[in-house]
Structure 1
């Protein structure tokens, strides 16, 4: 199954979860009798994207990327968390070697299934305009001829600053939109795509979110994909110009994790109607 509600420029809304290995999903998302080695195969046909967290903690083998690519259907994409060694440092301008090693580690084996790279920063990391721009300059627009999409997940309130939004827009880097969470929500559109992580699922609802909340997130995703911006999320910079249709990557993360797949599938259902 793929989220194929598209605009004229083939913009796609990809909806997914974080990872695919989580024991409580056995019997709630995965069938009880599904062998573990087929979990990615199953998840990639119920959802349209997965954000990989393992790449944040250490390098993966090229064979792993090839395996993931081959087990998933056409149109499916993986977003990868960039290595923490690039972002969890005092001087971001010194991250060049780590960034180069990451792109040489085999990630390009995903080919067309390589989605955005999420550069996640610690909640304690404050906005230093000069150093942050030096970091953005290190992010490659292309690697071996393949266009690379970058998103930055900043989680300190000092980034709620028009200067940060302007920097992200200058380098065409998406600001990760932290939905329904304790982190600052910076919903400015700064790139040719949108990257949102929604973290508000609870056990109170069978699908993690209420019907009204699912409807709102689906409508926001449609607005982004059409080139616009929702009018009910907080922004800090100049309004984004009306754009051509954009790809959207929306992940149901954290919260009541056992219900995140259900919320993702409920969003896909809304987007396909």
Structure 2
């Protein structure tokens, strides 16, 4: 449970103590929650040394979810993406080692449900870190720095898909995810986009973008208790849950993440 990203100027002097060096922000956050989404990987390919630094700055059992590149999801729209996928994995994702959690793929709001397009994309996704390392070897010269095409151990890889077009309410979509073991992201977006709560994998991935105002409003105690109940239900079904707050504009995300974690701990 944690936040979507951690480097936000408005958080400084509010969540982060005044005078805290920017390079220590992840270290500070990782002592107050146990996970975070890496957002920079959505906007551009990162470098292996950056992933290594994030690994080194966080406690042993910290978990990173990594957001897949928008070049794959928004520009290529999932078609013809084998080399871009190779670049993504060669950019250093595997340097996270045992701290690597799910890979998040977020589709643009205008992209409608297309089962053939999705099935083709799902067929390319590596399901283990060894498969990811093998795919990474197909990278091209878009990778920054020395490509990372090896893994320290063979581990399962999980994938989650966040969709926003109303056509994804189709039962065929949930069936396709189940066939491929991919989680349907449960996204709360203050009514801006669809919310799907179908459980389609052995884990649940939740993104909380704002209770009443997208990216801005915080969650009341009653709202957090409601989410705590849902998470417990999923866990009782023997499913892991990854929960990230993305209501970062008014510095609500970190406090909401900590409050929900406290509610879960209190039972």
Q: TM-score with structure 2 length normalisation?
A: 0.85
Which is bigger in relative contact order (C-alpha 8 A, separation at least 6)? 1
Please name the residue that 1:40 is paired with.
26
Q: Distance in 2 between matches of 1:214 and 1:59?
A: 34
Figure out how many residues of one structure are paired with residues of the other and give that number.
Answer: 239
What's the RMSD between the two structures over aligned residues?
1.7
Q: Distance in 1 between matches of 2:47 and 2:117?
A: 31
Q: Distance in 2 between matches of 1:34 and 1:223?
A: 38
Please name the residue that 1:266 is paired with.
259
State the secondary structure of the residue aligned to 2:167.
helix
Structure 1 residues 162-209: Cα deviation after superposition (integer angstroms, max 9, x where no partner): 000000010000011111431111110111111000122569xxx921
Structure 1 residues 116-170: Cα deviation after superposition (integer angstroms, max 9, x where no partner): 1111110000111111111111111113222111001111001110000000010
Q: Is the 8 A contact 2:68 2:103 kept in 1?
A: yes
Q: Distance in 2 between matches of 1:88 and 1:26?
A: 31
Q: Is the 8 A contact 1:18 1:252 kept in 2?
A: yes
Please name the residue that 2:100 is paired with.
114
1:46–1:255: structure 2 CA closer, same or farther, 3 Å change rule?
A: closer
Q: Distance in 2 between matches of 1:104 and 1:199?
A: 30
Pairing 1:214–2:224 present: yes
Q: CA deviation at 1:33?
A: 2.4
Range with bigger deviation, 97-106 or 188-197: 97-106
Please name the residue that 1:160 is paired with.
169
Unmatched tracts of structure 2, length 5 or more: 131-153
Q: Is the 8 A contact 1:201 1:260 kept in 2?
A: no
Q: TM-score with structure 1 length normalisation?
A: 0.83
Q: CA deviation at 1:210?
A: 1.2
Q: Distance in 2 between matches of 1:122 and 1:267?
A: 28
Structure 1 residues 225-245: Cα deviation after superposition (integer angstroms, max 9, x where no partner): 121xxxxxxxxxxxxxxxxx1
